[in-house]
Amino acid sequence: MAIRKEYEGREQTYLKHRVLQEYLRPWAHKLGSFARYKATKLWYVDCFAGPWKSADDELSDTSVAIGLAELRNAANTWREQGGHKVDLGAIFVEKKERSFAALSAYLQTHSHGIDVVAIPGEFGAAVDQINRRIGSDPAFLFVDPTGWNGAAMKYIAPLAAAPTRDVLINVMFNDLNRFKDDRREFLRTQIAEFFGLGEGAIPSGLDEEGLFELYRSQVKAKCRVPLVADLVIPHPRKERTWFRLVVGAHHIASIKLFRDVERKVCGLEAAEVRDEARNRGNPQLSLLDTRPVADLSYDRLHGDGLASVPQDVLAVLHRGPVRYEVLWPQVLLKRHITLPDLNDVIGRMHRNGEVVIQGLGAKERTPKGNHVVSMPACSKE
């Protein structure tokens, strides 16, 4: 696939924006369905709006344009499918004067039909104003700082706790990994605040998985968000993580969606995007047509996740039988697999006698949400 020229040299940003787009679109359509029963207003909140390094006069390669477009798509769909009116709102926060000026100029000509609020200054100083403006309306929060300073957990928490709010946070692992063990006091304080550790410091020696396990647990505890997962955006040309996107949600459908988006963008699209980035300027390599079916970074995480499923499932079932709709989110939160992937593994475990899917029909091969999964009777003795 040929990515737009505006993203050449910024392939990691392209993949980040594709995740944002593919997640925000169904989120807005789903929450917009409330308009069938009551007055509904959806909000998109861009907490570090920029615009940053845009190569397009229309800012189409920015989260600002993506957020506005997906809100409109949802409203148009519900209007066309039954005349349902979905009101729209968007809040953009930006501290840099030049960027805020560009943002304001763009919004003056691109905010038709949307209640737009542009707030100059630090994200942390705008939290109360954002909450007052949103009220009890559904909102999608995009937290995309250029580093970690200014994106402290204490600022995200008041916004993310409401049950109809999802949050997507960009954690710049490449930068964080360089400085997480730095002894300078100001860095230790900034990073501790980013993780919501108060006066504490990040335990030394954490690898990438340990670091993100800590961050996810902090988002869950400090932001009162019950479901937290992440995905990897790799370096465009090297086999290493550039950043991770962390989602916080209140409904299991959001986690299913997140893993589907991960497979589509990080698994399939990233393979072609990164292959193109490596071969750009070297046309002879592109003639070989050796593109991988799935991106190598995702493929490793996906394979490790599939291999870990039996152990994960049995660990849950040792505590007793559980409905599948309770079981599957526990696995998908920490494994980079989709629900159909998990269904297939559980079905195979059932046929092998490793677990029992209670109520599974004669023609059914995989569990449904209302099925109860348990250990075989002999395993309990």
| pLDDT digits 0-9 by tens, 330-346 | 999 999 999 999 999 99
CB atoms within 10 A of CB 207: 9
Alpha-carbon 367 to chain mean position: 26
At 20, the amino acid letter reads: L
pLDDT at residue 290 in the model:
57
DSSP state of 202: P
Q: What is the mean pLDDT of residues 44-71?
A: 90
Positive or negative, the Cα torsion across 130, 136, 139, 142?
positive
pLDDT at 21 over 90: yes
Positive or negative, the Cα torsion across 357, 362, 366, 369?
negative
pLDDT at 288 over 60: no
Domain with CATH 1.10.10 in the chain: 294-380
- Please name the fold of domain 5-277: Rossmann fold (3.40.50)
**How far is residue 14 from each of residues 5, 63, 269, 283, 297, measured CA to CA in Å?**
11, 10, 10, 22, 16
Domain with CATH 3.40.50.150 in the chain: 5-277
Alpha-carbon 223 to chain mean position: 15
CA atoms within 13 A on the CB side of 357: 25
Cα separation, 239 vs 122, whole angstroms:
34
pTM for the full predicted model: 0.93
Architecture of domain 294-380: Orthogonal Bundle (1.10)
